[in-house]
Amino acid sequence: MKVLITGATGLVGQEIVKQCHSQNIDVNYLSTNRSKIVIDNNYKGFYWNPKTNEIDIDCFQEVDVIINLAGASVAKRWTDAYKKEILDSRLDGLRLLYTTIKNQNIPIRHLISASAIGIYPDSITQYYEEDFKIDGDGFLSKVTKQWENEAQKFEQIGVNLSIVRIGIVLSSKGGALPKLYKPIKNYVGATLGNGKQWQSWIHIEDLAALFLYLVSRKLYGTFNGVAPNAVTQGELVKAVAKTLKKPLLLPKIPSIVLKTLLGEMSTLVLESQRVSSKKVEKLGFTFKQHHVQLAIDDLLL
């Protein structure tokens, strides 16, 4: 088997590539950076530039599954220009893949496209399953709705579609966890906001395994990419402090301070989404990391 991955050199992409190779799955990948293109027996890079509609069509050779992870990080200050980059980087890549596959009549069987739990509205009480009617009006919700709508067009050309709504990815190599443990390690860690907001997380190894489970089992539809037990922001910070054996000396950082410092981007840490993993579990997927304390121990100890 061979898969084509966009975003393969990113945090999640690297783990998916690692697990592909452990399962003897060959990987082609697309990169906008020519210096990141390498050619190995089971790992071959190809150039693309969605902004200019450039793509090396050889990337599709022997490929019947595409894993789409491409998209600019949301963890940079949301200026008007960067908000446009966040949206365009998600839509342009999908549009280029779609038009190329359609116009060249390329026989792709399955597209697995990333999305995010930011599509769900901010709520302390709601428990979100995949069939929840999306009606959020925040920036992230609008972006993810357009992202998913673009992916759904592939069904019109006979490509089976899976969408994975990803939660907070826990990894020692990047993402949210280092941003939490560095201040705690230096005795300046604190709970963000009132600490009661739900944060649905997933260990990076479980997330990569979920993508490949959808590939191997030919599972189509929308799936939440989160671990079974969401935690509050306060619980997450305390779990990191416990693993590091460091005290939390500072008081909670008020929401108004975070909004002043981060602007609209403060929604990343202040909004609350408690998200269900029951659908993938009922389909037979088994999480190795169910509880956040054990997951953080696994990553940091």
**CA dihedral of 138, 140, 141, 147, whole degrees rounded to 10:** 150
Q: What is the mean pLDDT of residues 22-31?
A: 98
User: What's the distance, Cα to Cα, between the start and end of the chain in Å?
Assistant: 35
Q: What is the mean pLDDT of residues 207-236?
A: 98
Q: Beta-carbon neighbour count of residue 24 at 10 Å? A: 8
Does residue 94 fall inside a structural domain?
A: yes
Does residue 120 fall inside a structural domain?
A: yes
Does residue 295 fall inside a structural domain?
A: no
The domain that holds 87 is classified in CATH as 3.40.50.720
Q: What is the mean pLDDT of residues 198-208?
A: 98
| Residue at 55: amino acid letter | I
Q: What is the mean pLDDT of residues 209-232?
A: 98
Tokens coding 295: 């997951």
Does residue 73 fall inside a structural domain?
A: yes
Does residue 34 fall inside a structural domain?
A: yes
Cross-strand partners of 192:
253
Q: Write down the pLDDT at residue 135.
A: 75
> In whole angstroms, how large is the CA radius of gyration of the chain?
19
Q: pLDDT tens for residues 78-128? A: 999 999 999 999 999 999 999 999 999 999 999 999 999 999 999 999 999
Burial of 226 from C-beta contacts in 10 A (0-12 / 13-18 / 19+): buried
Domain count, the chain: 1
H or E element at residue 294: helix 292-300
Q: Write down the pLDDT at residue 285.
A: 98
Q: What is the mean pLDDT of residues 64-74?
A: 97
Does residue 257 fall inside a structural domain?
A: no
Does residue 93 fall inside a structural domain?
A: yes
Residues sharing a CB contact under 8 Å with residue 208, sequence separation 6 or more, in sequence order: 12, 15, 16, 18, 19
Rounded Cα distance, 77 and 266, in Å: 9
Domain encompassing residue 152: 2-170+200-226
Give percent of the chain above pLDDT 70: 100
Q: Does residue 30 register a pLDDT over 90?
A: yes
Q: pLDDT tens for residues 179-194? A: 999 999 999 999 999 9
Does residue 144 fall inside a structural domain?
A: yes
Q: Write down the pLDDT at residue 137.
A: 81
